[in-house]
A and B are shown apart, each in its own frame.
Chain A
Amino acid sequence: MGLLSDPSRRKVLTGLLTRLNTPICIVCYLAGIVWFMGLAFEPFTLRTYMSENAMGSTMVEERFSSGERALSLAKEFDAHKRKAGGMPVEWLVKAMQSRGLEVFTQSFSRKLPFPDENKERYMVRGTNVYGILRAPRAPRTEALVITAPCSPGNTNNQAVALLLALAQYFRNQIYWAKDIIFLVNEHDLIGTQAWLEGYHHTNITGMEYSPLQGRAGSIQAALSLELSSDVITSLDLVLEGLNGQLPNLDLANLFYAFCQKLGVLCTIQGKLQRNDWDTAEGYTHAAQTMMLMVLKQACGRSWGDHGLFLRYHIEAASVRGINSFRHYKTDATTIGRLLEGMVRKLNNLLERLHQSYFFYLLPSLSRFVSIGYYMPAFGLLAVILLLRVSFPGLCHCFSVSLQPSSPGVLTVLTPVVISHLTGVALYLLPVHLQEMAVEHFPVSETEAVVLTAIAIYTAGLALPHNTQRLLSGEGTEQGWKVLKLTALLYLAVLLGCTALINFSLGFILAVTLVPITASITPHMPKALYALVMVLLSPAFTILYCVFIYQELIEAPVSVSEGWMLFLSVISQGILDHALYGSLVYPLLALFIYPCWLMFWNILFWN
């Protein structure tokens, strides 16, 4: 408190901050970026370790041996799938019943707000089949879930077959203390969503589904299995869930531990771990892996069936089999053993997974960066906004704006309200106006939605400052300073809250928004700064992310392909919001974009 109450020291501090404001801001920005990039450097990260006692010290011996039988089952399943032209519900029910499970089905239907062109679906109708293996050893108050999506075509047959083989094997074991639910869901995430909502008696997305006939206890953990070939070269672990939520790190540790034990190659973000951290290639590799995780987390969608479980406080991860051109192959028996081991350890849990971290970034499977290490990177960026707020000219405005009768507050109110109304339009209109757009223009519904969104976004650039000028005439010097103060504070709070819920999203937005918003004034060359502002606006951020993502997964795209991908990303974002309740689209449309418009207003103040 001495620093704040001693007037002479205060004066020195404020003098320092005022004089060196710009250099300090630049240093903070660069330090933030460097800190973030440094997170991938191995000496700065921690080695992963198993925190959960119940899973760590207990020995488990894997005995699953019916991998061959699983593969023949896969062929049978494939044949039935082809015959039924979708999910062979009756065959699955019979197959599960014959393995001694309590089997139930759930039908669901969902009309998408507009056709999904990536997956070619609009009216979705399907059935989930699930079987419950009751625990012989304990009261049935807790459960585990193993799920395999029944995908169209001949993908994922092996996953369903392995699921059935595991069910048969598990049925004969006596050590289960938790019910195990084997779920085969249709229409990937929509099916999972319907099943989870049915299981928890909620309805948050307007899905129509039949109630579940059989339930087990509260679900402790879930594993989703995706397997499309008889042999695989490596297993990939997918963690990113809805709204950037991640499962407890112990689940990743568990997977890694069993991969090590059984000698299976394991990857994360499709990237193998390298041991040469001290070389440039080694570092780049780790940085790429981490960047991929950041990009995937930032987009807020669920990257596998597990992502929706996380919302219900269920730790879940997807395990994806990858078959590439390596010589070293792993057969179905080993994958089965791996899953058996993981489920048995989860079965030993005495309480929910909570010991380890929930906020982390993974530069490789054996290294992690916890919240305490990565938050400073964001903090360094956010502090710039606060430094600019306390910039003396602005601080003085604060005193003026304290008096509600002064004109400052009212001149600020107009642009704030107009920006937010534009944001509301961007949020509501695309989906609601699609029919009108389709009537008048030669486009499909999906294109109509995306193009309307882009049109409103662009129109927003012209709208606010023109209306502002019409309403209150020439802006005053005082006016823009108060507006900038409000906007900077607003942005700081907004980014802070975003970074807490979804660090990656907050960080990416901060990287692009902070430099321009911190330096903007009306006295700059308009054309140049307008261009820079547009190039650093939220929509362009998404575009850059699309290109960087494609570059990182080693599938670079040309500009036109990138543009098409950008359009599909927008439509997917809107769909994710409507179908699963992803929050990225409303956040961008209702808060970030209006906030950015406020800065746009400042540039064109007079």
Chain B
Amino acid sequence: MAAPLTLLLIVAVTIRAVLFRSSLAELISARVEVVSPLNAWKRVVEGLALLDLGVSPYSGDVFHETPLMIYLFHFTVDYAEIVFIVSAYFVDCLSCFLKPLDRAKMAINSNYLKSDLLFNFPGCCELISWFITIIVCLCFCKFHFLCTCKYTDVRLCHQIADGITALALYLSIQTYNKDVFRKQKYALESDRYSADCLELLRSPKEMFYIPLKVAMFYLLNPFTILSCVAKSTCGLNNAIIALFIFCTLKGSALLSGILLALATYQSIYPLTLFAPALLFFLQRLYIPVNLRRSSFWFFTLQYAFMYVGSLVVITGLSFFLLGSWDFIPSVYGFIFSVPDLTPNIGLFWYFFAEMFEHFRLFFSCVFQINVFFYTIPLSIKLKEHPVFLIFMQIAIISIFKSYPTVGDVALYMAFLPAWSHLYRFLRNIFLVSCVLLACSALFPVLWHLWIYAGSANSNFYYAITLLFNFGQILLVADYFYAYLRREHHLTHGLYLKKKDGTEATLVLK
């Protein structure tokens, strides 16, 4: 497994390096589909320049990154070499920290060690650190060759972020698959599955390549590549979310809480991932979700404390770094009130450009509530399947957030191979893939007609935006339906019969 992953990483890094050096990089970094006002690299440069001059980076209306991010870049630009070395050690430490946890878990599960053998990678953490060291070395060499201007080496930061995301996703899905297989084994032993659904069961053979496919879907997805080449900071946010998923699945509540706080700090919306993470830990610790049980409340409070505590620490840290609370309205106010109406692939800009000013507050509430609202029903429905819930939540965030870019879309699309066993229940996947494909091609065409040729107008572009989001919603809904349907079949049998003996059909209502 290590060899294909290394190969994949090298291919991905090469593609990005080639694109970085070609003239396309500039064109891509100006595309509205790829960068948003929140994460455009141009704006980061502006913020850095202001910071260098000793002015608050938020004093203009241009910069909307969080303070930690700008200090990270500030640091990267000035001390690039140190950052790379430190980041290598950081990952080393991370893996060392995780290793005992892994061992402990193995000790608990030693009864099932035999079945687990296929997936077991006792040395996987060493492997990660090894890979990351390779990337860092690679980038380090490149740094010496490529460093032509002050901000050049930041490209490597983005490349590394993509690499980390892919690795984290790879390991998360690996862990998840192990879990799934173990649970399936339990269920089979206790005869919980109906007899005729053997063909729905998952075999180690078909699950073997899934983590690699997930990494591939992320690294070679054109959306990710575009986002990385545009130096959009979306890649870094994705890395944080991927690390959060990794830590959650590895069972480290503290790290998961910290990373979730970091992700929330970056862009508010990952707040909704609190519910799936909590559900996952409860399930892992065999605590039933029961409001009358004290153990439930105890753990919930514990996790919430870790989360809120780190959020407070991080926010406080930003305050001390910056010396003012300027960043709160400039980052979070900007996300919530949507003052920048530059067209993007989201649903906000057109509505907010069209509406009367005195409805603005009402409509921003209505639009923003979309992201958060679905958490409750989904958590209830999927409380047994927190990892799928994470996927649903990330997808919903990327559809309904106020400044979405293709980089956000790429993150949840990376999970699709993990649900490849749902394929037989998907109904519109073909239609949806055609719609998404066509939309991706039409975005630049209609942008050209609207902005350059002047012959089309914003309605054309927004029509495609709507279609694109419609496709995404259909995709997510389809996967949701397929997942529930498979679960239903697992317990009730694959070939359902009506009372009169004819073949029954399932309808989602």
Contact = CB atoms under 8 A, between A and B. Distances in A.
Interface of A: 4-8, 10, 245-246, 310-311, 313, 352, 354, 358-359, 386, 389-390, 395, 398-399, 402-405, 489, 492-493, 496-497, 500-501
Contacts of B507: 5-7
A310 B455 CA distance: 10
Contacts of A405: 209
Interface string B39-59: 000000000000000000000
A493 B427 contact: no
B14 interface: no
A548 to B, nearest CB: 26
Contacts of B427: 4-5, 10
10 contacts: A5-B427, A5-B507, A6-B507, A358-B455, A358-B456, A389-B434, A493-B438, A496-B438, A496-B442, A500-B442
Nearest to A313: B454
A497 B445 contact: yes
Nearest to A399: B423
B492 interface: no
B454 A404 contact: no
A496 B460 CA distance: 14
A358 B454 CA distance: 8
A7 B496 CA distance: 14
A402 B454 contact: no
B423 A497 contact: no
Contacts of B431: 4
Contacts of B452: 311, 313
Interface in B199-234: 209, 213, 216
A245 B216 contact: no
B120 interface: no
Nearest to B451: A313
A306 B15 CA distance: 42
Q: Which 6 A-B pairs have the closest CB atoms?
A: A358-B455, A7-B505, A313-B454, A497-B445, A493-B441, A493-B438
A403 B420 contact: yes
Contact of B445 (A313, A386, A500): A500
B449 interface: yes
Interface residues of B, number: 27
Given A4-B431, A313-B452, 5 more contacts: A352-B454, A359-B456, A395-B430, A492-B438, A497-B445
Among A10, A246, A402: residue with most chain B CB under 10 A: A402
Contacts of A5: 427, 507-508
Given A359-B455, A403-B420, A497-B442, A489 B449 contact: no
Contacts of A492: 438
A384 to B, nearest CB: 14
Interface string B76-109: 0000000000000000000000000000000000
B355 interface: no
B455 A246 contact: yes
B437 interface: yes
Given A7-B507, A246-B455, A404 B216 contact: yes
Contacts, number: 61
A313 B506 CA distance: 55
Interface in B397-447: 420, 423, 427-428, 430-431, 434, 437-438, 441-442, 445-446
Contacts of B437: 489, 493
A403 B434 CA distance: 17
Contacts of B445: 497, 500-501
A4 B448 contact: no
Contacts of B420: 402-403
Given A8-B505, A404-B213, A386 B434 contact: yes
> Which of B209, B438, B453, B505 has the most CB atoms of chain A within a 10 A radius of its CB?
B453
A514 to B, nearest CB: 17
Contacts of A310: 453
Nearest to B209: A405
Nearest to A243: B453
Interface in B471-508: 505-508
Nearest to B455: A358
Contacts of A497: 441-442, 445
B494 to A, nearest CB: 15
A221 to B, nearest CB: 12
A500 B464 CA distance: 13
A386 B433 CA distance: 13
Nearest to A403: B420
B356 to A, nearest CB: 22
B442 A501 contact: no
Contact of A500 (B216, B446, B506, B508): B446
Contacts of B438: 492-493, 496
A311 B452 CA distance: 7
B428 A4 contact: yes
A588 to B, nearest CB: 17
A5 B425 CA distance: 12
A186 B442 CA distance: 39
Contacts of A313: 452-454
Nearest to B439: A493
A313 B428 CA distance: 41
Contact of A245 (B430, B441, B455): B455
A118 B40 CA distance: 49
Contacts of A501: 445, 448-449, 453
Listed residue (B427, B454, B456, B508) with the most chain A CB atoms within 10 angstroms of its CB:
B454
Contacts of B423: 399, 402
A7 to B, nearest CB: 4
Q: Which of A5, A389, A496 has the most CB of B within 10 A?
A: A5
Contacts of A10: 427
Nearest to B426: A399
Contacts of A245: 453, 455
B440 to A, nearest CB: 9
Interface string B361-404: 00000000000000000000000000000000000000000000
A500 B460 CA distance: 10
A390 B216 CA distance: 27
A386 B435 CA distance: 11
Nearest to B446: A500
A6 B427 CA distance: 10
Nearest to A358: B455
A402 B426 CA distance: 13
A496 B464 CA distance: 13
A398 B508 contact: no
A496 to B, nearest CB: 7
B430 A398 contact: yes
Contacts of B209: 405
A233 to B, nearest CB: 33
Contacts of B216: 404
B505 A500 contact: no
Nearest to A6: B507
A434 B156 CA distance: 42
A142 to B, nearest CB: 16
Contacts of A246: 455
Nearest to A359: B455
